Amino acid sequence: MKDAAPQPIYLADYTPPNWLIDDVHLTFRLAPNATRVVSRIAFRPNPDTASRDFFLHGEALTLIDARIDQKPVTPDLVEGGLRCSVPDAPFIWECEVEIDPANNTALEGLYMSSGMYCTQCEAEGFRKITYYPDRPDVMATFTVRIEGDMPVMLSNGNPVSQGPGFAEWHDPWPKPAYLFALVAGDLVNHPGQFTTRSGREVELNIWVRPGDEGKCAFAMEALKKSMTWDEDVYGCEYDLDIFNIVAVDDFNMGAMENKGLNIFNSSCVLASPETSTDANFERIEAIIAHEYFHNWTGNRITCRDWFQLCLKEGLTVYRDAEFTSDMRSAPVKRISDVIALRARQFREDNGPLAHPVRPESFVEINNFYTATIYEKGAEVIGMLKRLVGDDAYAEAVRLYFNRHDGQACTIEDWLSAFQDVTGRDLTQFKRWYSQAGTPRLKVTEDFKDGTYTLHFEQHTPATPGQPQKAPQVIPIAVGLLGPNGHEVMETTVLEMTEARQSFSFEGLTARPVPSILRDFSAPVILERATDNAERAFLLAHDTDPFNKWEAGRALARDGLIAQIREGAAPDAAYLDAIHAMARDDSLDPAFRALALGLPSQDDLAQTLADLGTTPDPQTIWEALETLRQARAQHCQDLATRLHAQFQVTDPYRPDAEQSGARALANAALGMISRLDGGAQAQRQYDAADNMTQQLAALSCLLQSGTGAEAVQRFYDQWRHDRLVIDKWFTLQIVHADPQDAAATAARLTAHPDFDMKNPNRFRATLGALAANPAGFHHASGAGYELLAEWLIRLDPVNPQTTARMCSAFETWKRYDAARQDMIAGQLDRILDTPGLSRDTTEMVSRIRG
C-alpha cells in the first residue's frame, strides 16, 4: 500500500511561535553510534501569541530523559516531534536524547564523514540532533560543550575553554537552529589572521584532514578578500573573534554558512594548481565569498520562514556576483552567469518544477534550494538596483541592516526599506517574487522622420498553478548604434510596466541598430525578428560586452537550428563573424573563449520545442559536431596561432588574466584536435603541469577517440585524490559517444572507486550521464533506466541528493512520444518504490504532473 501523500505547508498559514528562547545550552557526548545530546533551554511565552501549545520538532531521536524546571515529564511523542504540557510562564526545559551519527547517511543533522563528526542543519536538520522549535524565527544564543576524544572540537561563536576530552564554545549572536554547527575530528588547520576596520583581531582557520593542508592557501586569501570587500562595499564587519572553515568530503551541497563555523564540501575549498582547474579556483573564491557574506545577509538578518529563502539566498548570490565582478572581469562574470541562468533557471521555469522566487507552498523545503530561488532571486535584486540606482540601493540596504539586525524577516521587510528610501511604490515590482515563469519580451520597431520607436510586448506563459500572469516591471537597458558602428545613444534604462509599451528616440539621422537588454538587464526571453547581417554587425561593434557576446551566440544558435530543421550546411555568416571575433587581439582572451562556446544541446532542444519542432537529441548532437568540425576547418590557421600565442609561461596563477589566456588556448586546442587526430592534445597532456591544461587535453583526446591510454594514466596518477578522481569519472561519461554513454556510466558504477554514499562521486557519475543529453536521451532508453535504477537505490540512503537529481527528467514533455513513454515508465517505477522518501516523492510527482 502507498504511504499517505505528504502534506504541503503553505505560506498563508504562517503563525508566530508560541514560545521564544533566549538561551540554549547543549552538551554533546560523542560516540559514533550513540552520541548523547543534553539540552537545557530557557523558554518564555511569546507575548504576541495566545496559544500555549508546546510542540518541539524531533526526528530519529531516542528520548532518554525530559524535565521541566527540574521535574521529570513524559512528553507525547508524536509524528515529527513531541508535545508536552507546560507552565503558562517561563520555564527551563532539559532533555537528553541519543543519536547515531555513524549511520546517518542522509548527511543531515549530526553525521560522520571520513571519521570526523560534522553537522548540516539547514533547513530542518537540527531536529535530528535534539528536540527543538526548529524554525528560523526562533533565535537564541548558544553555549555548546563537546565531550569526546577528538583532537579538534569546534562549534559556533568564540571558544570559551578547552581541555583534554572537552571543548566549550559560546555564540553571543542570537541565531536560528539551522545555523548551528559542530565539528570534531582529527583535523589540521591552515591559519590566518584578519584585522577588521574597527581594529578587531580575528583568528581565521581552514580545517582539513591531514594531507590536505597544502590545498588551503587560495581559500584563505579568498576569505580575506571577501572580508575586506564586504567592509568596503557594504560596510559589513565581522563580529566574532574567530572564523572557522572546515572541509568535509561527504556533503549534499556546496557549503553552509553556519555562524562562525562554515562547513564546506571539500570540492569547494581545497585547491592546488596540480589538482584544480581555473574554473574550480574561481568557483571556490565565489563560494567562500558567498558563505562569508551570509554572515550579514542570512545570519545577522535571517528569514522568518522558509518561504522567504530568497531573502538571504538571492541577495547573497547577488553580492557574491558583485564580488567576483570586482575581483575578476565584470563582463566575463555576467556572461557566464547568464549562460548558467538560462541553462538551469530558464529550464526550471519552463517545466513542471516552475515555482515563484517566493514559493507559496512546499512539501519538502530541501527541494526548494533551486536555481529560481538562488539565481532568479539574484536577478531580481539586480533589477531593483538598476531601477533605483546605485546610491539608493546602498542607502536602502543600509536601512534594511539597521532596521532588522537580529531579526527574522520577510520579503516585505526588504522591499519596505527600498520604498522608504526611494518613495517608489514597489507593488508591481513585487510580482517578480510571486509569479513563476520567464517573461517573453517581443520587440518590433519603426523609424520615421528621425524618430526611432521600439514597441515591446510582454507575456509570461502559464506555469503549474498559475494560469494567468499580470505584467511585470521590466528594466530594459537599450543602446543605439549608427550604421557606421558608432554608438549614437548610450545605454538608457527603459522601464516597462504595461503589457504593451512603446519608447521613442528622436533626432536620429539614420535608422539605428538597437542593442536591447544590455548586460541582460532582466531575466526575460527577448524575441525579435532580425537577420544574420545585423547580428554580425553587433558582434563586431556593440560596446556592451554582454550583447556583443549575445549576438555571436544568436548567430550560432540560428545557424544550428537551420542545420537541424532544414538540413542546412553550417552558416557561413557565423563562421566568418566568429573568425573575425576570435582573431581580434583587442578583445579580452576570456571573452573570446566565451564567444567561441556554442549553445548547449539542452538550449537547442528548448529552442526547437519553442519553435514547435520536437527535438531529436541525436540530431542536435550531430549538428553541433558538424558545426565544430566546420569551424575547426574554417579557423585552422587561427587556432594554431591562438594556441601558441596564449600559452602561459609564467608560474601558474588562477587569476582572470592567466585563466583567460588558458581558456582561449584550450578553445583553440579543441579546434586543432578535430583536425590532427589529437596529436597536439597529446603533447599538451604529456607536458601539462596544472589541471586546467591536463584536463583540457584529456577532453580533446576523449573527443577525438584517442583518449584510452591517457584515461588510464590519469587514473594511475591521481587514484589517491578523491576530488580529481571525480573528474575522471565525469569526463569519461560526458565525452562518451551518445550510444555508449549509459554503458560507460554503468561500467563506472561498478568501479571499485564508485561510492554512492559520497554525493560528489554519485553526481560525478550519474549527474554526468544527465550532462550528456544525447547519451541520456538515447533512443534505447538505457540512460533513463540506469538513472532511475540508481535514484531508487540512493533514495533510502540519501533522499536529498536523490530528489535533486530527479530534475534530469524535468524536460521530458518536450520529447517525442516514445521517449515520453519511456520516461513516464521510469518516473512511475520510482514513484511505486515502497517507502520512497518525501523528498523524492514530491519531486517525481511534480515532474510527472
> What is the footprint of ligand 0A1 within residues 245-264 (CB under 6 A)?
252-257
134 binds ligand 0A1 (CB under 6 A): no
Contact partner at residue 120 from ligand 0A1, Zn ion, none, CB < 5 to 8 Å by partner kind: ligand 0A1
Respond yes or no: is residue 213 known to be catalytic. Answer: no
- Binding marks (x or -) toward ligand 0A1, 182..221, rule CB under 6 A? ----------------------------------------
Contact partner at residue 458 from Zn ion, ligand 0A1, none, CB < 5 to 8 Å by partner kind: none
120 binds ligand 0A1 (CB under 6 A): yes
Among 369, 401, 503, 715, binds ligand 0A1 (CB under 6 A): 369
Nearest 5°: phi and psi at 11? -55, -40
Strand partners, 25: 40, 143
Would you tell me which residues interact with Zn ion (CB under 5 A)?
313, 316
CB of 779 to ligand 0A1, least distance (A): 36
> What is the footprint of ligand 0A1 within residues 656-695 (CB under 6 A)?
none
CB of 800 to ligand 0A1, least distance (A): 6
Q: Which is nearer to Zn ion, 316 or 694 (CB)?
A: 316
Q: Which is nearer to ligand 0A1, 337 or 602 (CB)?
A: 337
Residue closest to 340 by CA, chosen among 185, 467, 175, 520: 520
Q: Walk across the sheet containing 182-185 and list its strands.
A: 109-113, 116-120, 182-185, 152-155
Which amino acid is it at 554?
A
CB of 47 to ligand 0A1, least distance (A): 31
Q: Which is nearer to ligand 0A1, 366 or 684 (CB)?
A: 366
Contact partner at residue 303 from Zn ion, ligand 0A1, none, CB < 5 to 8 Å by partner kind: none
Rounded CA-CA distance 371/779 in Å is 29
Q: What secondary structure does DSSP assign to 209-248, as a single string?
A: -TT-GGG-HHHHHHHHHHHHHHHHHH-----SSEEEEEEE
Rounded CA-CA distance 376/346 in Å is 9
CB of 322 to Zn ion, least distance (A): 15
To 10 degrees, the CA torsion angle through 387, 391, 397, 398? -160
> What letter does residue 503 receive in the DSSP assignment?
E
Rounded CA-CA distance 493/478 in Å is 6
Name the burial class of residue 803, with classes exposed (0-12), middle (13-18) and buried (19+) by CB atoms within 10 angstroms of its CB: buried
Contact partner at residue 796 from ligand 0A1, Zn ion, none, CB < 5 to 8 Å by partner kind: none
Q: Which is nearer to Zn ion, 255 or 768 (CB)?
A: 255
CB of 366 to ligand 0A1, least distance (A): 5
171 binds ligand 0A1 (CB under 6 A): no
Specify the stretch interacting with ligand 0A1 by CB under 6 A; choose among 117-125, 497-505, 524-532, 688-696. 117-125
**Binding-site size, ligand 0A1 (CB under 6 A):** 15
CB of 32 to Zn ion, least distance (A): 30
Rounded CA-CA distance 319/297 in Å is 9
Q: Which is nearer to ligand 0A1, 319 or 814 (CB)?
A: 319
CB of 312 to Zn ion, least distance (A): 6
> What is the footprint of ligand 0A1 within residues 800-829 (CB under 6 A)?
800
Q: Collapsing DSSP states into helix, strand and coil, what is residue 293?
A: helix
Residue with cell 565525469: 730
Task: Please list the alpha-helical segments (H only) found in 704-816.
Answer: 708-718, 722-734, 741-749, 759-762, 768-770, 773-776, 782-794, 799-805
- H or E stretch covering 831: helix 817-831
Q: Which is nearer to ligand 0A1, 134 or 257 (CB)?
A: 257
**Residue of 291, 322, 379, 550 marked active site:** 291
123 binds ligand 0A1 (CB under 6 A): yes
Rounded CA-CA distance 191/563 in Å is 56
Contact partner at residue 252 from ligand 0A1, Zn ion, none, CB < 5 to 8 Å by partner kind: ligand 0A1
Rounded CA-CA distance 11/358 in Å is 9
Q: Which is nearer to ligand 0A1, 366 or 699 (CB)?
A: 366
CB of 373 to ligand 0A1, least distance (A): 9
- Find the angle CA(740)-CA(800)-CA(839) to the nearest 5 degrees: 105
> What is the footprint of ligand 0A1 within residues 286-345 (CB under 6 A)?
290-291, 313
Under 8 Å between Cβ of 175 and 157 = no
122 binds ligand 0A1 (CB under 6 A): yes
Task: Please list the alpha-helical segments (H only) found in 294-354.
Answer: 309-327, 330-340, 347-349
Q: Which is nearer to ligand 0A1, 223 or 697 (CB)?
A: 223
Q: At what angle do helices 601-610 and 545-566 cross, to 10 degrees?
A: 70
Rounded CA-CA distance 358/361 in Å is 9
Q: Which is nearer to ligand 0A1, 223 or 598 (CB)?
A: 223
- Binding marks (x or -) toward ligand 0A1, 746..785, rule CB under 6 A? ----------------------------------------
Q: Which is nearer to Zn ion, 247 or 555 (CB)?
A: 247
Specify the stretch interacting with ligand 0A1 by CB under 6 A; choose among 119-127, 209-217, 643-651, 782-790. 119-127
Nearest 5°: phi and psi at 632? -60, -40
Specify the stretch interacting with ligand 0A1 by CB under 6 A; choose among 43-51, 118-126, 128-136, 835-843. 118-126
Q: At what angle do helices 617-634 and 572-582 cross, to 10 degrees?
A: 50
Specify the stretch interacting with ligand 0A1 by CB under 6 A; choose among 116-124, 329-337, 605-613, 821-829. 116-124
Q: Collapsing DSSP states into helix, strand and coil, what is residue 155?
A: strand
Rounded to whole angstroms, the maximal C-alpha distance in the chain is: 89
Q: Which residues contact 644 (CB under 8 A, 6 or more apart)?
A: none
Residue number closest to ligand 0A1, CB atom = 253
Q: Which is nearer to Zn ion, 127 or 319 (CB)?
A: 319
- Binding marks (x or -) toward ligand 0A1, 498..527, rule CB under 6 A? ------------------------------
List strand residue ranges (DSSP E) for 410-465, in order: 440-448, 451-459
Peptide bond into 630 cis (omega under 30): no
CB of 286 to ligand 0A1, least distance (A): 11
Q: Walk across the sheet containing 500-505 and list its strands.
A: 500-505, 451-459, 440-448, 525-528
CB of 265 to ligand 0A1, least distance (A): 9
CB of 387 to Zn ion, least distance (A): 24
Contact partner at residue 119 from Zn ion, ligand 0A1, none, CB < 5 to 8 Å by partner kind: none
CB of 290 to Zn ion, least distance (A): 5
Rounded CA-CA distance 139/204 in Å is 25
Contact partner at residue 255 from Zn ion, ligand 0A1, none, CB < 5 to 8 Å by partner kind: ligand 0A1
Residue closest to 702 by CA, chosen among 727, 722, 665, 719: 727
Rounded CA-CA distance 222/241 in Å is 19
Rounded CA-CA distance 689/656 in Å is 19
Contact partner at residue 253 from ligand 0A1, Zn ion, none, CB < 5 to 8 Å by partner kind: ligand 0A1
Q: Which is nearer to ligand 0A1, 355 or 518 (CB)?
A: 355
Site residues, ligand 0A1 (CB under 6 A): 120, 122-123, 252-257, 290-291, 313, 366, 369, 800
Indicate which residues carry an active-site annotation: 291
